[in-house]
């Protein structure tokens, strides 16, 4: 990282943001944001998998101008990048999700707001203004509460519902256990009512975690307050019928986040979703699964080979593929596009930007991603994201 004479912060890559964010965050917050599940093999693999993919540059192709504009669900994004949902952003900065929303709007990319936001979804919508925003949904055992969240997201102008399907139970994040992670008293899960739901319940979990009593959640040393909350509140009985139900109660496009196999990608298409989001939740759920970028080619191939199944649901003409996990370089985005992604999401880098500089920090992170992507495109001989093709990359098992 470049350090000026007065010790100022001059990040030159996304890892520099992470290093500085670590210095600024509490141990608990940094542990929650950065960690993966169990031995964190998948967390590391998300990065390493990108390093195994080689680029195949073409030359003499006029790259004096590079076009990154991308169409997403009938809207426009200024690059094929979106902000992934991450919970509890006020742990990173007092302005939390509103700062992220303003930054995403400024840069012209979509933001996905987490159900587990520390700012009410309506307030985030107001900050986002005309910015494109999606609402990430967790389905609660209290179905009525889930329906209310969807109705509120529709009323507040969110343009899609992103249903996360890889949290039937909370992954085992050992940093949260070691740090006795709790939400600080001044923060709440702001999409919920103190009386009836979330904030109150997480407070219960917080006290139980602190005094080791187990409290209402029966916490032991092997459970964190977060896992106690998730395991007692989220609906672990979701099936593919849940997608049909969701589509029956909202006219918004439905995206399914957490797809990792061709089999599930095909099922998602049968159930009429608008996009699948290939993701292993940033290595935070099942440790030992492949990186999303590794499974992307087989998912793309299965969708291309198998015809769209007939069903009584309205089918999108083409189901889009979004991907996330370990994206830290512009060239990672180029690799993902070449392997079949329509959009690429970033999670932790946005949190690091938020911790380093609030709204401006997130703008800087997204702008750095844009600059790196533009340069990678030029050096690879590609002047338009729409023209990125499979020929641009070589996988380890393919001949040179
Ligand atoms: C701190 C943190 C909180 C997250 N919260 C959510 C969430 O509330 N909902 C969700 O669907 N995914 C959540 N995720 C997963 C991200 O949406 C995304 O899949 C992941 O972070 C991508 O990997 P990356 O961080 O390497 O970019 C969270 C990830 C992190 C790091
Ligand atoms: C208060 C519960 C936090 C739920 C999980 C948010 C998430 O998806 C993640 O941390 O990962």
pLDDT tens for 24-54 read: 999 999 999 999 999 999 999 999 999 999 9
Interval 116-174: pLDDT, tens: 999 999 999 999 999 999 999 999 999 999 999 999 999 999 999 999 999 999 999 99
Active site residue 281: yes
- Residue 216's pLDDT is 46
Tell how far the Cα of 71 is from the centroid of ligand 1, in angstroms.
23
Q: Find residue 52's DSSP bridge partners.
A: none
Q: Is 229 in the pocket of ligand 2 (CB under 6 A)?
A: yes
Is the pLDDT at 227 greater than 90? The verdict is no
Q: Which of 236, 276, 271 is nearest to 139 (CA)?
A: 236
Is the pLDDT at 310 greater than 60? The verdict is no
Chain position carrying tokens 């969240």 = 149
Mean pLDDT of 59-63: 98
User: Which ligand 2 atom sits nearest the alpha carbon of residue 167?
Assistant: 8
- Confidence class for position 215, pLDDT limits 50, 70, 90: very low
Ligand 2 atom 1, closest CA: 226
Q: Which two tokens stand for residue 228?
A: 């106690």
Q: Which ligand sits nearest to residue 365's alpha carbon?
A: 1
Is the pLDDT at 175 greater than 90? The verdict is yes
Is the pLDDT at 349 greater than 90? The verdict is yes
Q: Kind and range of the H or E element at 322? A: strand 320-324
| 321 phi/psi in degrees, rounded to 5 | -120, 120
- Residue 279's pLDDT is 99
- Confidence class for position 337, pLDDT limits 50, 70, 90: very high
The rounded distance, in Å, linking the Cα atoms of 187 and 304 is 46
Q: Which two tokens stand for residue 104?
A: 């995403």
3-state secondary structure of 30: helix
Q: Is 284 in the pocket of ligand 2 (CB under 6 A)?
A: yes
Q: Which of 42, 277, 261, 84 is nearest to 172 (CA)?
A: 42
Rounded to an integer, what is the distance from CA 143 to the centroid of its chain? 24
| Of 30, 93, 271, 281, catalytic | 281
- Confidence class for position 193, pLDDT limits 50, 70, 90: confident
Q: Which ligand sits nearest to residue 173's alpha carbon?
A: 2
From residue 293, how far is each of 36, 42, 341 by CA, in Å? 17, 12, 9
25-210+219-316+334-346+379-393 topology per CATH = TIM Barrel (3.20.20)
Ligand 1 atom 3, closest CA: 86
- Residue 343's pLDDT is 99
Mean pLDDT of 374-391: 98
User: Which ligand 2 atom sits nearest the alpha carbon of residue 198?
Assistant: 1
Tell how far the Cα of 124 is from the centroid of ligand 2, in angstroms.
18
Task: Write out 21-47 in H/E/C secondary structure.
Answer: HHHHCCHHHHHHHHCCCCCCHHHHHHH
pTM: 0.95
Between 293 and 217, the more confident residue is 293
* Cβ-Cβ contacts under 8 Å for 29 (sequence gap 6 or more): 91, 92
- Residue 218's pLDDT is 47
Mean pLDDT of 13-32: 98
Tell how far the Cα of 115 is from the centroid of ligand 2, in angstroms.
9
Tell how far the Cα of 360 is from the centroid of ligand 1, in angstroms.
21
Task: Give residue limits of the domains in the chain.
Answer: 25-210+219-316+334-346+379-393
The rounded distance, in Å, linking the Cα atoms of 341 and 335 is 9
R_g (Cα) of the chain, nearest Å: 21
């Amino acid at each position: 990282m470049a350090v000026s004479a007065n010790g100022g912060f001059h990040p030159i890559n996304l890892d520099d943001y992470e290093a500085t964010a670590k210095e600024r965050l509490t141990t608990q917050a940094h542990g929650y944001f950065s960690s993966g599940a169990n031995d964190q093999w998948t967390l590391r693999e998300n990065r390493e998998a990108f390093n195994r993919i080689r680029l195949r540059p073409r030359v003499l192709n006029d790259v004096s101008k590079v076009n990154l504009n991308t169409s997403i669900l009938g809207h426009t994004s200024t690059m094929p990048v979106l902000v992934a949902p991450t919970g509890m952003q006020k742990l990173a900065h007092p302005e939390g999700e509103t700062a992220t929303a303003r930054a995403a709007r400024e840069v012209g990319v979509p933001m996905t707001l987490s159900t587990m936001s520390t700012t009410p979804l309506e307030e985030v919508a107001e900050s986002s203004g005309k910015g494109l925003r999606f609402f990430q949904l967790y389905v609660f055992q209290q179905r009525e509460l889930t329906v209310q969240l969807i109705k509120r997201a529709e009323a507040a102008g969110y343009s899609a519902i992103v249903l996360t399907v890889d949290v039937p139970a909370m992954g085992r994040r050992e940093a949260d256990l070691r740090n006795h992670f709790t939400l600080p008293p001044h923060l709440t899960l702001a999409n919920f009512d103190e009386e009836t739901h979330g904030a109150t319940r997480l407070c219960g979990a917080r006290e139980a975690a602190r005094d080791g009593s187990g409290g209402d959640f029966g916490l032991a040393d092997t459970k964190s307050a977060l896992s106690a909350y998730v395991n007692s509140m989220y609906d672990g009985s979701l099936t593919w019928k849940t997608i049909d139900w969701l589509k029956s109660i909202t006219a918004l496009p439905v995206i399914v986040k957490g797809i990792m196999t061709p089999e599930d990608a095909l099922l998602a298409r049968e159930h009429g979703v608008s996009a699948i989001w290939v993701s292993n939740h940033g290595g935070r759920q099942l440790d030992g699964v492949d990186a999303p970028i590794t499974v992307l080619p087989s998912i793309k191939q299965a969708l291309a080979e198998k015809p769209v199944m007939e069903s009584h649901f309205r089918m999108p003409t083409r189901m889009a593929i979004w991907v996330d996990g370990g994206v830290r370089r512009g060239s990672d985005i180029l690799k993902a596009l070449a392997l079949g992604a329509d959009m690429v999401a970033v999670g932790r880098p946005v949190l690091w930007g938020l911790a380093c500089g609030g709204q401006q920090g997130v703008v800087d992170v997204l702008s750095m991603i844009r600059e790196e992507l533009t340069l990678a495109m030029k050096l690879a001989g590609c002047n338009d994201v729409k023209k990125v093709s499979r020929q641009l990359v070589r996988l380890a098992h393919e001949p040179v």
